[in-house]
Structure 1
Amino acid sequence: MTIRAQTALTLTLKVERFAYRQPFRISGHVFTETPVLVAEIGNGRHTGRGEGAGVYYLGDDIDHMLAEAERARPAIETGITREGLQSLMPAGGARNAIDCALWDLEAKTTGRPAWQAAGLGPPRVLKTTLTLGADTPDAMAKAAMELDPYAPVKVKLTGDLHDDVARLQKIRAARPRAWIGVDANQGYRRDTLERLQPMLVDCDIAMLEQPLPRGEEAGLDGLKRRLPFVADESAVTLADVPSLAGRFDVVNIKLDKCGGLTAALAIAEEARRLGLGVMVGNMMGTSLSMAPSFLLGQLCDIVDLDGPTFLAKDRDPGVIYHLGTIACPPSIWG
């Protein structure tokens, strides 16, 4: 159940920038900071907060998020529910920030935590992957040894078959017993993917995320998947999910992609109905982004909520990483 919107709400938008400890490289991109849009929605007594980092590969940057939020401001401040927000704004970082602020406002106004409003049980600590940005094979092997030894490892690939295989061989030698998944970030094509798969099996890789570019999903038709394939860039909103069955095994849900926790919960339900596994990921961001994603993670098979580990400084209070897990104090959000 959702509380009805008040006769008037106030929307405050802030842009904040969080520098990385070191540059982070994936296929086709190098990142040095995460700019986020923080939405604060007040009803005169309480204020809810939410954060959006946007979706870089869809042009959903800070300027775009601000423009979307300002366009929706009159309707939001007149009074809106989370359900009404879904048709008011398109999916993306701005709706994510505002949707999560409404969840937080509801929790503070009613005294009922967000996990209860979402129909979940009390949140439990979750095992989360830690990610290795793309680098030289030796540098990545060294970085793998420096990660929490209890954490699953997610490895960013670049699409260069020879270098990627060398990276994985070095990392597997450094972490022989670790759960390792790889993320191609759209870097492969059908022919190179067919050559990559046996190498992944040889390195005991647990999953392959987004091997082909978004829009080229038909290239997976007829391909024998020798390990679970995860849809990321191919799975933005609920409308994308039906076309994934038979091409992918798992859907990676990110609140910035789909536009908030409300939409994310609907995607998780639909993915399960279609027999797909569910993963929660992130577009980086601070602990304020991880907190609502942590609730979604309670429903997921794979959790990848390591965004704050890349930051030179996170928010305080922040999520807690310990022995390969993530915990989220309720004081952060919801």
Structure 2
Amino acid sequence: MTQMTFLSAELPLAKPFAISRGTRTAVTVVRVTLTDGEFTATGECTPTAHYQESPQSVCEQLDLIRPRVEEGLTREALQEVMPIGSARNALDCAMWRLDAAKQGKTLWQLLDMPKPVSVITAETLSLDSLENMAKAAGIAVAGGAQLLKIKLDREQIIEKVAAIRAAAPLATLVVDANEAWQGLDLGSLFQALHEFNVAMIEQPLPAGNDKDLVRCLHPIPVCADESCHELSDIAGLRDRYEMINIKLDKCGGLTEALAMTEEARRLGLRIMVGCMLGSSIAMEAALPVAVQAERVDLDGPIWLAQDAEPALRYENGEVWL
């Protein structure tokens, strides 16, 4: 019989993390642990207020589903009885890990996928003043970063990208507006960013109000993040986006993320895998999607004052397995 426990934990950040919607100095995660008496497995999620989640609401969801899990609920059945979101993600990932352990396999072996040595991941530049963001870019590339993800709002967009490009002339740059560019001249803005060799623009307009993307040219691929949560969202995005950002906390776990990867490929959409702030427990679960993605943003643990063990190794712009 499987036993299920869960808890929330506040993880202090090593430095503030700012995006267009606000600044954080700590992140609260929820961890689910499953054990059958011989094997134990843990999954982690990060509840997100922007998606009407809190640590309390996630724990309430987990408490409701716990009797069914302990009665033998399968991972396949979980997808039908629990809605998408971070609660299902933590449980789904714990189930994957427990299934692998029971079969004496790694997760990679269970998925019949080769385990890579490392994966290039973005290093995020938190929203800040132009001078501080350029300085952070220089420090990041001096430390080996190859891909920089630039958090932006509506202020000094081109000026900040220009300064970061000057500080990191060889790095791949992607920008993330977190829905902040409504009302701006997107055509001119996209063209100006193209001149700085920006490789991708993530979620420039609010989810549900992004039709203006149909009416402007995309010299740079545009990626859906807040507009794309689950498998059923993907088909309706093709007229506005070239890429989708798959996050386990949004879609409800590795099971849905793998299905989304297959569907995006079928429909000709390119793939990014992203994360919320969190520990290596959460990032490691997303790696089977990351190895199939064009862009990877799994740098959550580098923002933490202390990572969970066993910790993934982040070095020279890559996450090492």
Q: Residue in 1 aligned with 2:153?
A: 158
Alignment equivalent of 2:297, drawn from 292, 295, 304: 304
Aligned twin of 1:111: 104
Q: 2:262 and 2:137 mapped to 1: Cα distance?
A: 34
What stretches of structure 1 move > 4 A for 4+ residues in a row? none
**Structure 1 gaps, min length 5:** 1-7, 329-334
- TM-score scaled by length of structure 1: 0.93
Please give the residue correspondences for 1:148-187 in structure 2 after superposition, counting only pairs within 5 Å. 148-160=143-155, 163-187=156-180
**RMSD of the TM alignment (CA)?**
1.2
Distance 1:96 1:79 in 2: 18
| Identical-residue share of aligned pairs (%) | 38
Contact 1:55–1:92 (Cα < 8 Å) also in 2: no
Residue 226 of structure 1, aligned match among 219, 237, 241: 219
TM-superposed deviation, 1:284: 1.2
Instruction: Write the letter of the residue equivalent to 1:171.
Output: I
Match of 1:206 in 2: 199
The within-5 A match list for 1:4-83 is 8-83=1-76
Provide Cα deviations, 1:130-165, integer angstroms capped at 9, x if missing partner.
0000101011001111113342101000123xx122
In 2, Cα distance between equivalents of 1:168 and 1:191:
17
Residue 267 of structure 2 aligns with which residue? Answer: 274
The amino acid that maps onto 1:167 is: K
Please give the per-residue CA displacement for 1:33-66, whole angstroms capped at 9, x wherever unaligned.
1111100011121111100112331111211111
CA contact (8 A) 1:183 1:208 kept: yes
Query: 1:3 corresponds to which residue?
Result: none
Residue type at the aligned position of 2:56: D
Q: Tell me the distance in 1 between the aligned counterparts of 2:14 and 2:40.
A: 31
SS at match of 1:221: helix
8 Å CA contact 1:27–1:185 kept in 2: the answer is yes
1:238 corresponds, among 227, 231, 236, to 231
In 1, Cα distance between equivalents of 2:21 and 2:38: 46
Q: Is the 8 A contact 1:97 1:260 kept in 2?
A: yes
Deviation per CA, 1:247-298: give whole Å up to 9, x if none: 1111110000001101100000000000001111001100000001112111
Instruction: Report SS of the residue matched to 2:289.
Output: helix
Q: Match of 1:80, as an amino acid?
A: L
Q: Do the aligned partners of 1:123 and 1:295 also contact (CA within 8 Å) in 2?
A: no
The secondary structure found in structure 2 opposite 1:188 is: coil
CA distance in 2, matches of 1:140, 1:217: 27
Displacement of 1:246 in angstroms is: 2.3
Residue identity matched to 1:151: Q
Deviation of the 1:190 alpha carbon: 5.0
Tell me by how many angstroms 1:219 deviates.
2.3
Q: Encode CA deviations 1:91-132: one digit per residue, 9 max, x unaligned.
A: 111101100100111111111111122232223311111000
Q: How far apart in 2 are the matches of 1:37 and 1:150?
A: 29
Q: Aligned partners of 1:267 and 1:215: how far apart in 2?
A: 20
CA contact (8 A) 1:280 1:300 kept: yes
Distance in structure 2 (CA, Å) of the matches to 1:218 and 1:189? 11
Instruction: Determine helix, strand or coil for the equivalent of 2:169.
Output: coil
Size of the alignment, in residue pairs? 319
CA distance in 1, matches of 2:206, 2:38: 47
Give, as a single letter, the amino acid of the residue that structure 2 aligns with 1:184.
Answer: A
Q: Measure how far apart 1:72 and its partner are.
A: 1.0
Q: Could you tell me which residue of structure 2 aligns to residue 90 of structure 1?
A: 83
Alpha-carbon separation, structure 2, partners of 1:274 and 1:94: 28
User: What letter is aligned with 1:105?
Assistant: L
Tell me, yes or no, if the aligned pair for 1:180 and 1:205 is still in contact at 8 Å.
yes
Distance (whole Å) between structure 2 residues aligned to residue 283 and residue 12 of structure 1: 22
What CA distance in whole angstroms lies between the structure 2 residues aligned with 1:260 and 1:175? 34
Question: Which stretches in structure 2 are left out of the alignment for 5+ residues?
Answer: none
Question: What amino acid does structure 1 have at the position aligned with 2:151?
Answer: K
8 Å contact kept, 1:279–1:297: yes
How far 1:21 moved relative to its partner? 1.1
SS at match of 1:196: helix
How far residue 327 of structure 1 moved from its aligned partner, in angstroms, is 1.4
